[in-house]
Chains A and B, each alone.
Chain A
Amino acid sequence: MSLKKLMATGLLLSTLGVSAHAQSLVYCSEGSPEGFDPALYTAGTTFDASSHPIYNRLSEFKVGTTETIPGLAESWEVSEDGKKITFNLRKGVKFHSNDQFTPTRDFNADDVIFSFDRQGNEENPYYTVSGGTWEYFNSMSMPELIESIEKVDDYTVVFNLTRPEAPIIANMAMDFASIQSKEYADAMMEAGTPEMLNQAPIGTGPFQFQAYQKDAVIRYLRNDEYWGDPAKVESLIFAITPDASVRYQKVQAGECHVMAYPNPADVQAMKDAEDIVVMEQEGLNVGYLAYNTKVAPFDNAKVRKALNMAIDKQAIIDVVFQGSGQIAKNPIPPTMWSYNDAIEDDNYDPEAAKAMLEAEGVSDLSLKIWAMPVQRPYNPNARRMAELMQEDFSKVGVNVEIVSYEWGEYLERSKAEDRDGAVLLGWTGDNGDPDNFLAVLLGCDAVGGSNRAQWCNEDFDKLIQEAKVLSSQDERAALYEQAQEIFKDQAPWATIAHSVVYMTMRPEVEGYVVHPLGGHIFNQVGLSQ
């Protein structure tokens, strides 16, 4: 009898063990996070492990889109002049707890103020903690933009801006804007361990941090008190696996359910495999060749247009991207709102290009093409891409010399307004807002900086400046669509490609969505038995 009982208990335990295991979602990630306080860092790997599972923001990106939806703020109002934004905060939101901390109150306005104040106010005791440089806060121009943040009451916060800025709502959904617990921060400061904010994170997100072993594994447990839709799995495990081939082997062997960044060369075999699911989507990026529009004859839009027609983009997609790319016709990617799909790309037509160059009186043209020394999603092999262009341009009588510099040098030198040659470069979006591409890369203010074409077109600039201060997304989209027409007509760049992002997973994974902003998000992902 007792033996039977024992066996039954054992059976029960083992069943429990198995089901607990089955409810763990294992994600083979590509690397270790730099830490767990997203405001301190800029890498996607860090955001995957910190801001997405652990934290929330005032506004959130709807998974699978670049649209912003309410997060910890239930709603917001923008004042008439666009310079005052009032956020109405969600009530009853609980922070996580750990060995050293149990929250005594719900999320409120103090947490919002603390989360931003520490990034911009030198007086804040957390300003220097963990060597904070607050890169994203600074690079999104928050210090210049935010005049003050006021607490009206526990559940109302007002952001006073120095100028109207429509993209701020999208900025509030970015990783650096993740909301921290002020109570936890104060407790850790008092205990003399302020770095715990970064090492043992406390947030309001769907998963609670459990443990991290550098370069090996990160463990999370479901937050059962989550204010939104609860996570579908009981625990989430990141198995850190730097090598892409090994990640694939692990998916095949059932050691993980989902993997990031497959080798482009393996994608076809994965698609052919029966028990493997491959999802794909264009990345939120663009790779381009920027002419120097201040130097003759490239100051002539027709010359630039002719050169664009000489580039065989399909060959580039096939050879350089090995299929993991899509031809770009606009400066913003197709997953972004306001993408103007009516625009027609310059067709590949070397004969017509040659004729156009002749008509403009351009002959014996020489051009330097700058090839980046690093690999990027929007350009996996710039050298190879430059060689293909060299070949294409030679067919229309343009002689190309390829140059390259060390990455830091490259970025610095390519900013020069008198730069000799066209630059291969690209951009990955931060907040899903078209302003983040069009103003940053093509605005008049950015000439001599991130506007590598040194292109300042009054009509284009007027449209994007106007769009920046409107709060209606539809009205903004209309202006951006017009701006893309001017861009295409003036051709400051040859738009080359948007990368295609692949996700590889096992068939039992349910509800995974490829996120256009690049993150890997598991809140809504479940496992079928």
Chain B
Amino acid sequence: MLNYILGRLLTFIPTFIGVTLISFSFIRALPGDPIQVMAGERGVSEARYAELAAQYGFDQPIYIQFWDYLTGVLQGDLGTSFVTKRPVWDEFFALFPATLELSFFAMLFAVLLGLPAGVIAAVNRGKLFDRALMSTALVGYSMPIFWWALLLIIVFSGNLQWTPVSGRIDLLYYFPNPTGFMIIDSLASGQKGAFASAVRHLVLPTIVLGTIPLAVIARQTRSAMLEVLGEDYIRTARAKGMSPGRINGIHALRNALIPVVTVIGLSVGTLLAGAILTETIFSWPGIGKWMVDSIFRRDYPVVQGGLLLIAVMVMIVNLTVDMLYGVINPKIRKR
């Protein structure tokens, strides 16, 4: 197992360099540079432009710029934002817990609802529940996040006033955020009502961000279950007189889980993409909005650093998923 993990970690190296190179060149391929974007209509004189370019290192040949960046990254230095003048690491760590918290609950929501829904649909194949669920899943999958979020806000926050419109906690509460996870910090603060407020603020963004993964997981679980339910050993189990609950819940589901876990792993990437919109609408201070702003401002260090960190996270999730295969199916471990 250790060899397997080490082997996988080795494959990280070329991916890592590839991501660094791609993020470095893509943002530079966009027309316009940070100095022009910053100056706007006001314009900037040639002398001043040259001075600023030298300050940012743009006067160096491009391969030297890349080399400087790469050596910086390998030493753990992702550079400093052109806009805020703060280290990319600092900004990332200030914002990432919010994204992680939201993504975690969105995924939890998607898995807790998606798995049972998929199983029930498969068992009741062709019946009303199955059809209703599958069409709902299709709608969920194709839902524009922006529209869905605004709709929920207007109905649940505006008309019914069940949930707050946006933010992470009521502004009345003010306490330090040592972990950055509002759920934990609000509990630790000991302030009455803070935790409940944090939970209430999580509800809508969780639903919005979790909708697409929920639809994907439900569909994938259903089709994987259907496949397994047609296998001989299930028929044998039935013939033995085993209860349907045991057959579906244990024998079938466990074997159907491999493709489902794969999909969950892949959904993490989608989740991060969805987080960009969800965070913007719900004023959620995470890395999604941060990345988008930095692209518009041509804030090279932030775009490069942010993409790299996201890529690393996706790689780690994929590695975790691969390791989970072994847990679910011992045959894979032995291979």
Pairwise interchain contact A240-B165, C-beta atoms closer than 8 A: no
A214-B285, A246-B282 known; A239-B41 Cβ under 8 A: no
Pairwise interchain contact A411-B40, C-beta atoms closer than 8 A: yes
What is the CB-to-nearest-CB distance from B148 to chain A, in angstroms, rounded to a whole number? 13
Interface residue from B44, B55, B168 paired with A131 (Cβ < 8 Å): B55
Task: List B contacts of A428 (CB < 8 A).
Answer: 41
User: What sequence of 0s and 1s flags, for each residue 7-19 of chain B, a beta carbon within 8 Å of any chain A beta carbon?
Assistant: 0000000000000
Interface residue from A213, A214, A217, A409 paired with B31 (Cβ < 8 Å): A409
Pairwise interchain contact B95-A246, C-beta atoms closer than 8 A: no
What is the CB-to-nearest-CB distance from A384 to chain B, in angstroms, rounded to a whole number? 20
A34-B84, A131-B80, A213-B285 known; A245-B43 Cβ under 8 A: no
Pairwise interchain contact A133-B171, C-beta atoms closer than 8 A: no
Pairwise interchain contact A253-B161, C-beta atoms closer than 8 A: yes
- The CA of A216 and the CA of B169, in the complex, are separated in Å by 10
User: Which of the candidate stretches B59-67, B149-157, B322-330 sits at the interface with the other chain?
Assistant: B149-157
Interface residue from A213, A242, A255, A425 paired with B41 (Cβ < 8 Å): A425
- The CA of A407 and the CA of B32, in the complex, are separated in Å by 7
Q: Counting CB contacts under 8 A, is A274 at the interface?
A: no
What is the CB-to-nearest-CB distance from B32 to chain A, in angstroms, rounded to a whole number? 4
Pairwise interchain contact A213-B177, C-beta atoms closer than 8 A: yes
User: Looking at B91, B171, B281, which has the most chain A CB atoms within 10 Å of its CB?
Assistant: B171
Q: Counting CB contacts under 8 A, is B37 at the interface?
A: yes
Task: List A contacts of B172 (CB < 8 A).
Answer: 17, 21
- The CA of A244 and the CA of B287, in the complex, are separated in Å by 20
Pairwise interchain contact A408-B52, C-beta atoms closer than 8 A: no
Pairwise interchain contact A408-B38, C-beta atoms closer than 8 A: no
What is the CB-to-nearest-CB distance from A215 to chain B, in angstroms, rounded to a whole number? 3
User: What sequence of 0s and 1s flags, for each residue 266-300 of chain B, a beta carbon within 8 Å of any chain A beta carbon?
Assistant: 00000000000001111111100110010000000
Task: List A contacts of B165 (CB < 8 A).
Answer: 246, 249-250, 253, 255
Q: Counting CB contacts under 8 A, is B135 at the interface?
A: no
Q: Counting CB contacts under 8 A, is B144 at the interface?
A: no
Task: List B contacts of A381 (CB < 8 A).
Answer: none
Q: Counting CB contacts under 8 A, is B116 at the interface?
A: no
User: What sequence of 0s and 1s flags, for each residue 135-153 of chain A, a beta carbon within 8 Å of any chain B beta carbon?
Assistant: 1001100000000000000
Interface residue from B41, B86, B161, B280 paired with A243 (Cβ < 8 Å): B280
- The CA of A294 and the CA of B297, in the complex, are separated in Å by 34
- The CA of A249 and the CA of B151, in the complex, are separated in Å by 11
Q: Counting CB contacts under 8 A, is A343 at the interface?
A: no
Which A residue sits closest to B166, measured CB to CB? A246
How many residue pairs link A and B with beta carbons under 8 A? The number is 128
A130-B85, A255-B164 known; A214-B94 Cβ under 8 A: yes
- The CA of A35 and the CA of B84, in the complex, are separated in Å by 6
What is the CB-to-nearest-CB distance from B93 to chain A, in angstroms, rounded to a whole number? 11
Pairwise interchain contact A449-B286, C-beta atoms closer than 8 A: no
What is the CB-to-nearest-CB distance from A459 to chain B, in angstroms, rounded to a whole number? 26
* A407-429 CB contacts (< 8 Å) to partner B: 407-409, 411-412, 415, 425-428
- The CA of A220 and the CA of B244, in the complex, are separated in Å by 62
Pairwise interchain contact B285-A216, C-beta atoms closer than 8 A: yes
Q: Counting CB contacts under 8 A, is A121 at the interface?
A: no
Q: Counting CB contacts under 8 A, is B187 at the interface?
A: no
User: For chain A, what secondary structure do more than half of its interface residues adopt (helix, strand, loop), or is it mixed?
Assistant: mixed
Q: Counting CB contacts under 8 A, is A211 at the interface?
A: yes
Q: Counting CB contacts under 8 A, is B48 at the interface?
A: yes
Task: List A contacts of B98 (CB < 8 A).
Answer: 216
Task: List A contacts of B161 (CB < 8 A).
Answer: 253
Task: List A contacts of B39 (CB < 8 A).
Answer: 135, 139, 411
- The CA of A362 and the CA of B164, in the complex, are separated in Å by 63
Pairwise interchain contact A246-B36, C-beta atoms closer than 8 A: no
- The CA of A6 and the CA of B90, in the complex, are separated in Å by 45
Pairwise interchain contact B36-A411, C-beta atoms closer than 8 A: yes
Pairwise interchain contact A215-B290, C-beta atoms closer than 8 A: yes
A246-B165, A246-B282 known; A408-B32 Cβ under 8 A: yes
Pairwise interchain contact B283-A246, C-beta atoms closer than 8 A: yes
A214-B95, A250-B166 known; A242-B280 Cβ under 8 A: yes
Pairwise interchain contact A216-B83, C-beta atoms closer than 8 A: no
Q: Counting CB contacts under 8 A, is B259 at the interface?
A: no
What is the CB-to-nearest-CB distance from B54 to chain A, in angstroms, rounded to a whole number? 11
Task: List B contacts of A217 (CB < 8 A).
Answer: 167, 171
- The CA of A15 and the CA of B196, in the complex, are separated in Å by 21
Interface size range of chain B in the complex? 35 or more
Task: List B contacts of A242 (CB < 8 A).
Answer: 280, 283, 289
What is the CB-to-nearest-CB distance from B20 to chain A, in angstroms, rounded to a whole number? 22
Q: Counting CB contacts under 8 A, is A24 at the interface?
A: yes
Pairwise interchain contact A35-B85, C-beta atoms closer than 8 A: yes
Task: List A contacts of B86 (CB < 8 A).
Answer: 35, 195, 199
Q: Counting CB contacts under 8 A, is B101 at the interface?
A: no
Interface residue from A133, A195, A211, A215 paired with B285 (Cβ < 8 Å): A215
* A506-528 CB contacts (< 8 Å) to partner B: none
* B132-167 CB contacts (< 8 Å) to partner A: 150, 153-154, 157-158, 161, 164-167
Pairwise interchain contact B283-A240, C-beta atoms closer than 8 A: yes
Q: Counting CB contacts under 8 A, is B26 at the interface?
A: no
Pairwise interchain contact A253-B158, C-beta atoms closer than 8 A: yes
Task: List B contacts of A21 (CB < 8 A).
Answer: 172
Pairwise interchain contact A426-B41, C-beta atoms closer than 8 A: yes
Task: List B contacts of A213 (CB < 8 A).
Answer: 94, 177, 285
Task: List B contacts of A449 (CB < 8 A).
Answer: 43
Q: Counting CB contacts under 8 A, is A482 at the interface?
A: no
Which B residue sits closest to A415, measured CB to CB? B43
What is the CB-to-nearest-CB distance from A53 to chain B, in angstroms, rounded to a whole number? 16
A246-B165, A253-B161 known; A138-B280 Cβ under 8 A: no
Q: Counting CB contacts under 8 A, is A198 at the interface?
A: yes
Which A residue sits closest to B36, measured CB to CB? A408
Which A residue sits closest to B158, measured CB to CB? A249
A250-B166, A411-B41 known; A215-B32 Cβ under 8 A: no
Pairwise interchain contact B285-A240, C-beta atoms closer than 8 A: yes
Q: Counting CB contacts under 8 A, is B58 at the interface?
A: no
- The CA of A448 and the CA of B284, in the complex, are separated in Å by 45
Pairwise interchain contact B48-A40, C-beta atoms closer than 8 A: no
Interface residue from B32, B43, B80, B283 paired with A241 (Cβ < 8 Å): B283
Interface residue from A138, A198, A215, A241 paired with B95 (Cβ < 8 Å): A215
What 12 additional pairs, Cβ within 8 angstroms, besides A34-B83, A40-B85? A35-B85, A133-B52, A213-B285, A215-B285, A245-B150, A246-B166, A253-B158, A253-B165, A406-B32, A407-B36, A411-B36, A427-B41
Can you list 20 A-B contacts with CB-CB less than 8 angstroms, sorted by A residue number?
Answer: A17-B172, A35-B84, A130-B85, A131-B85, A199-B86, A215-B283, A215-B290, A216-B285, A239-B171, A239-B283, A242-B289, A255-B164, A255-B166, A406-B32, A409-B31, A411-B36, A411-B43, A427-B41, A428-B41, A450-B42
Interface residues of A (CB under 8 A from B): 17, 21, 24, 26, 31, 34-35, 40, 42, 130-133, 135, 138-139, 195, 198-199, 211, 213-217, 219, 237, 239-243, 245-246, 249-250, 252-253, 255, 406-409, 411-412, 415, 425-428, 449-450
Interface residues of B (CB under 8 A from A): 31-33, 36-44, 48, 52, 55, 80, 82-86, 91, 94-95, 98, 150, 153-154, 157-158, 161, 164-168, 171-172, 174, 177, 279-286, 289-290, 293
Give me the 8 closest cross-chain CB pairs, A-B, nearest first.
A215-B285, A408-B36, A406-B31, A408-B32, A216-B285, A130-B85, A131-B85, A241-B283
